[in-house]
Amino acid sequence: MDAEKQYRMENDPLGNIMVPSSAYYGSQTQRAVENFQISGLRFPRPLLKLKELLKLRPRL
Protein backbone atom coordinates (compact mmCIF):
# COMPACT_ATOMS: atom_id res chain seq x y z
CA MET A 1 0.00 0.00 0.00
CA ASP A 2 1.40 3.39 -0.77
CA ALA A 3 1.92 6.15 1.81
CA GLU A 4 -0.89 8.35 0.48
CA LYS A 5 -3.48 5.63 1.13
CA GLN A 6 -2.23 4.84 4.64
CA TYR A 7 -2.65 8.43 5.84
CA ARG A 8 -5.03 11.30 5.32
CA MET A 9 -4.34 15.00 5.67
CA GLU A 10 -6.20 16.77 8.49
CA ASN A 11 -5.95 20.42 9.40
CA ASP A 12 -6.70 22.56 12.44
CA PRO A 13 -5.61 26.02 13.64
CA LEU A 14 -2.05 24.70 14.13
CA GLY A 15 -1.75 23.57 10.51
CA ASN A 16 -1.80 20.33 8.56
CA ILE A 17 -0.98 16.91 10.02
CA MET A 18 -1.02 13.37 8.68
CA VAL A 19 -3.47 11.02 10.45
CA PRO A 20 -3.62 7.25 9.81
CA SER A 21 -6.52 6.55 7.45
CA SER A 22 -7.72 3.72 9.71
CA ALA A 23 -8.04 6.09 12.72
CA TYR A 24 -11.46 7.37 13.81
CA TYR A 25 -9.97 10.56 15.27
CA GLY A 26 -8.79 13.85 13.86
CA SER A 27 -5.89 16.26 13.97
CA GLN A 28 -6.02 17.25 17.65
CA THR A 29 -5.93 13.63 18.83
CA GLN A 30 -3.08 12.88 16.43
CA ARG A 31 -1.09 15.76 17.93
CA ALA A 32 -1.71 14.35 21.42
CA VAL A 33 -0.59 10.87 20.30
CA GLU A 34 2.66 12.36 18.97
CA ASN A 35 3.36 14.63 21.94
CA PHE A 36 2.27 12.68 25.03
CA GLN A 37 3.62 9.29 25.99
CA ILE A 38 1.05 6.72 27.12
CA SER A 39 2.43 4.96 30.20
CA GLY A 40 0.44 1.74 30.10
CA LEU A 41 -0.13 2.00 33.85
CA ARG A 42 -3.54 0.87 35.01
CA PHE A 43 -5.50 1.38 38.21
CA PRO A 44 -5.52 -1.64 40.55
CA ARG A 45 -8.84 -3.52 40.59
CA PRO A 46 -9.54 -2.85 44.31
CA LEU A 47 -9.27 0.89 43.71
CA LEU A 48 -11.76 0.71 40.84
CA LYS A 49 -14.14 -1.35 42.97
CA LEU A 50 -13.91 1.21 45.78
CA LYS A 51 -14.68 4.04 43.36
CA GLU A 52 -17.72 2.11 42.12
CA LEU A 53 -18.96 1.56 45.68
CA LEU A 54 -18.55 5.25 46.54
CA LYS A 55 -20.50 6.32 43.48
CA LEU A 56 -23.36 3.96 44.27
CA ARG A 57 -23.56 5.05 47.92
CA PRO A 58 -26.56 7.30 48.62
CA ARG A 59 -25.72 10.87 49.57
CA LEU A 60 -26.63 12.03 53.07
Q: Splitting the chain (60 residues) into consecutive groups of 10 residues, what average pLDDT does each group show? A: 77 94 94 88 91 82
Q: Are 19 and 7 in contact (CB under 8 A)?
A: yes
Q: Which pLDDT does position 60 carry in this prediction?
A: 67
| 8 strand-pairing partners | 19
The per-residue pLDDT for 59 is 74
Quote the Cα angle for 39-42-43, to 5°: 140
Q: 15: part of which helix (H) or strand (E)?
A: strand 15-20
pLDDT of the residue at 4: 56
51 vs 12, 39, 40, 42, 58, CA distance in Å? 37, 22, 20, 14, 13
